[in-house]
Every structure is written in C-alpha cells, then in structure tokens.
Structure 1
Amino acid sequence: MKYILLLTILAFELFGALIKSPVVSVDNENETVKIKIDNIDVGVSGFIVHHISPEHSAILKNAVVQSFDAKTKTATVKMSEFTALQNNALPHGKWQVSVGDTVELAFGYSRSLLIAPNEKIYYKIAKSVQTQWIHPDLFATILSFRGHPTPIKEDFEAMADASSIGLLFIYLDQKVYTLDIKSFKILNISEAKLKQTKVHLPFYTRVDNIDAAWWGAGSSRMQNYAPHYYELMVENNKTNKQLYKIIKNGDAKLHYLLDEFEIGK
C-alpha cells in the first residue's frame, strides 16, 4: 500500500545571502563588537573583515551573534581567533578590529550538511530543502582522520572550515533542527513526520568504518543516535525554551538533560 509522507520544512531563502554590516563599536575587554542591523538570529556566524583597499581585504576574526536588541536594532557579536585558511608561508598583517571594519554573517549558508539516521530519511529531507548539500561521506572521512567515530562540536567546526558549510541539519524524532554549524545554535525547528525503522550509526553515510583514536572525546563508538545529538544541542543551547519543551514532553529517557538547561522550569 502506497502512502504519502508529508514533510514540513520552512523555506530558508534568507539563509542564502551574505549579511554585511560595519562595526560601530569595539569592546576589546569582552572581545565583542556591535553592529546595526534590522534583524538577526543569535548564533549566526561569520567573520570580521578589514578592507585594506577597495580591491583587497583580510579576515581578522571569527564572529558569532551573541545577542540582538530589537528596539535599538543593535547586535552584539562575539569575536574569536580566525583559524580557517591558515598558511604559515603567507604574510599576514597585524591589524586590530576597529570601527569601520565589516562583519560578514551567514557565510556558507547556501551549503549544508544533513545528519540523518538512515538513507531513506536522508533523501526525503534532502529533496525537501533547497540548498547545496555536502554529502555526509565527506564528514565521515574527516571524522576518520580525526579518530572520532562519535562526532563532537569541534568536528563540525572542522567540517565547516574544510567545505565552507554554514548550516547543519539534524533529524531527530520527527523534527529537523537547523543549526549554525560553527556556533551550534539552533536557528529553526521544523516538523518532519517521517517513519524511522532503521538507524545507521553515527549517521547515514556510505563510509563503512570510521577510524577511532586511542583516547579522548569522540574516540568511543556511538551507542545511541538520538541521545548523543540531543546532548550536543543542549550543551550549546541551554536557554532555548523550545528545545527544553520538546525534551520535557518527549522520551522520559532523555529527561536527564533537563537539568542542563539554564531557564526556568
């Protein structure tokens, strides 16, 4: 008997364009800058760019939106060391972030990685979201190189640097979570009423074996699909009320995660 599964995914049209805004103030003590912007989600990542000339520029820092004030249309952006595209053979400047530099956000949001429990669900979702999908085989290869059969947040950051990916989609319990792959902040949660009958650990990939390191975070083999990815999301979204509600109303075996949230019960 044939039947149709309805997959509800929001259109991510606004995720395709790079968002640029000049720095209006710098707080070196807290390693933050402020920008003026009409609207932006907390957790959106990018870079701070210094323009040497109209034709030349240099990336100074990584950037992640820390907070947004809708009344003043002001976003506070957290700075951190820029680690991608490193090449010790090339010269580099000693510029410091200053007023007038440009914050460029949502970099790579037209390219995405999807974590799904099996092939069927992977392709159902992949066909429902318009983005440039980077196959999870590449991520599995990076995990094998790093010796992490169980992916940790730093592995997703490495994947972002290697493939210029901005968005991460994770399927869990008939929902698709959309995250900024570097900050691991949840940007959207959509319903995806798909039947799950099989689980491929650590996620759907055609790579048969992911090498494991002798020790350290991520070096153990994943035992359960959903708990691990819920744990990663909770760790990086402790004030997300929607995620809290989902876990509270879901499988009782995951209720131990409720104590990790920093919101009122």
Structure 2
Amino acid sequence: MRKIALIALLSLPLFAGFFPQTVHTSIKSVKENTITLNKKFPVNGMSGVVIHNYGNGLTAITTRIAQTSSGGSTSLVSTDILHHEELPTIKTAISANDKVIGGYLYNNVLLLAPDADTYAKIISQHNKTWIHPDLFALYLSVEGEERPTKENLSHFARKYQVGLIYIVRKNSAVLLDPVSGKIISKKSMTNLPSVGAFPFYMRFEQIDSGWFGSEVKGNYYDTMETL
C-alpha cells in the first residue's frame, strides 16, 4: 500500500498548485524549427529563455521559446530579447547544450481582477511580486488603447518584465503566459462580484490622456473571456 502511495506521489505533475514551477534545463537538439529539451516544461504553452555561453565567463539570453507538445518539443517565439539603440542585436542561433530557464520571470505577476476586495484577497494568498494594474492602466492610456488584449499585454509584459498575467474570469481564474499567448493554468473561483469594474480593477477613477478612461462602456467579464 505504501509503494502504491509513493508511486502516485511521484507521478504527480511538477506543479500541484495553480502556478507552474520554474524549470532549469538545457537544449537537447535543434532540428529546423523544432527544439527538444533535456527536461520538458510542466505544461504546454509555458515559455522560457535560452542562455548561450560564449566562454570566458560571458553568457547572454539569446531567444525566447515556448513548449508546444507534451513530449517536450518547443519552438522559437522571439529573438527580440533586448532592444536598445546603443547595444548590438544578439543574433546567436540556438544550439545543443544551451541553458534554458522555463517560466522565466514567472514570479512577476500582473493581476486583472473585478474589484478591490478580490484583488486584495488574491495577492494575500500568494507570495509573488505583484505588478499593480495601475501601471498597466497608465500604459494603455499612453498607447491610446481602451481595454486589455493579448497583444498589448504581451508588449506591456516585455517592457515591464512581467512573467504571468493572472486573470479573474466569471467563476474561474486563469494564468496567461504573455510570451506564448497561451493559457497555462486554470482553476474555479467562487464568491466573485456579479459585476466587475471595467475594464479591470485599478485605483484611478479616471485617466484623462489617450482613449483609456473615456466614456467607452463594456463588461469586465466579457473582456476577460477574450484574453
């Protein structure tokens, strides 16, 4: 009986909770656009970064990848890791034995919630670096956008080093990886408000610049379902 219990325990996925664990592994092989890892990520859609060793103690993040199959195969997502006019663009190709960090920056989380009470409750339950939605609201205002989309969340995450988007939907919560654009985790939720602040909870009553904060109306839960 103890052996059965032990086997069941060992057969559990790498994360038993809502948040996937960060994975440290390396590239096993590269064949055209398919990249195989020595240790797969715990869930499909999870993104990571590839780190190349140039010798003499010099290493650099070269590309972003995302797992596409349960066998551990991944594909290239982006080579735009760091853009700066004063710095050279990294053009190093992925190669075997490059190091990989799956779930890079997953501890940095932006939470989109329907109200202040839900927001406060969630952040009190998890020890994460929470990126306040006020910052995202200001970003949308500057960009002249009215509501969250996968595209502006991806751009925001890259600019502000956000690893995950925690989204409260109607009766559920999901984790969106803004690099891959995939939902990587989901759980049910209860006792949520019937109507949420549109487009999401923030401390600003109104933001005057740009389109954001105008009289555009919408439904919080309907918006979250599109992400």
In structure 2, C-alpha distance between the alignment counterparts of 1:94 and 1:184, rounded to whole Å = 24
Task: Give the TM-score normalised by the residue count of structure 1.
Answer: 0.71
Equivalent residue for 2:26? Answer: 22
CA 1:120 to 1:98, structure 2 compared with 1: closer, same or farther past 3 Å? same
SS for the counterpart of 1:161 is helix
C-alpha displacement of 1:169 = 0.9
Aligned length: 209
Task: Give the TM-score normalised by the residue count of structure 2.
Answer: 0.82
Q: Which amino acid aligns with 2:38?
A: K
In structure 1, C-alpha distance between the alignment counterparts of 2:93 and 2:19, rounded to whole Å = 34
Equivalent residue for 1:184? Answer: 181
CA 1:62 to 1:195, structure 2 compared with 1: closer, same or farther past 3 Å? closer
1:125 aligns with one of 122, 126, 133: 122
Equivalent residue for 2:221? Answer: 226
C-alpha displacement of 1:108 = 0.8
Q: Which amino acid aligns with 1:103?
A: V
Residue by residue over 1:190-235, the C-alpha shift from the partner in whole angstroms, topping out at 9 and shown as x without a partner, is 232223054211100123226229xxxxx99451221222122xxx
Matched, 1:211 2:213: no
In structure 2, C-alpha distance between the alignment counterparts of 1:212 and 1:140, rounded to whole Å = 11
Equivalent residue for 2:10? Answer: none
Unaligned runs of 5+ in 2: 1-15
Residues 93-172 of structure 1: pairs in structure 2 closer than 5 A: 93-172=90-169
Q: Which amino acid aligns with 1:108?
A: L
Equivalent residue for 1:63? Answer: 65
In structure 1, C-alpha distance between the alignment counterparts of 2:185 and 2:174, rounded to whole Å = 6
| Paired-residue identity, % | 27
Q: Which amino acid aligns with 1:212?
A: W
In structure 2, C-alpha distance between the alignment counterparts of 1:106 and 1:220, rounded to whole Å = 38
Residue by residue over 1:29-61, the C-alpha shift from the partner in whole angstroms, topping out at 9 and shown as x without a partner, is xx2311121552001112122111252112222
SS for the counterpart of 2:100 is strand
CA 1:32 to 1:144, structure 2 compared with 1: closer, same or farther past 3 Å? farther
Unaligned runs of 5+ in 1: 1-9, 70-74, 214-218, 233-265
- 4+ residue runs over 4 A deviation: 10-14
Matched, 1:51 2:47: no
Contact 1:113 1:169 in 2 (8 A): yes
SS for the counterpart of 2:61 is strand
Task: Judge which range, 151-160 or 204-213, deviates more.
Answer: 204-213
C-alpha displacement of 1:102 = 2.0
SS for the counterpart of 1:144 is helix
In structure 2, C-alpha distance between the alignment counterparts of 1:137 and 1:196, rounded to whole Å = 20
Residue by residue over 1:111-166, the C-alpha shift from the partner in whole angstroms, topping out at 9 and shown as x without a partner, is 11110111111112221222111100111111112111111112111221122221
C-alpha displacement of 1:14 = 4.9
In structure 2, C-alpha distance between the alignment counterparts of 1:154 and 1:13, rounded to whole Å = 22
Task: Judge which range, 159-168 or 109-118, deviates more.
Answer: 159-168
C-alpha displacement of 1:92 = 3.9
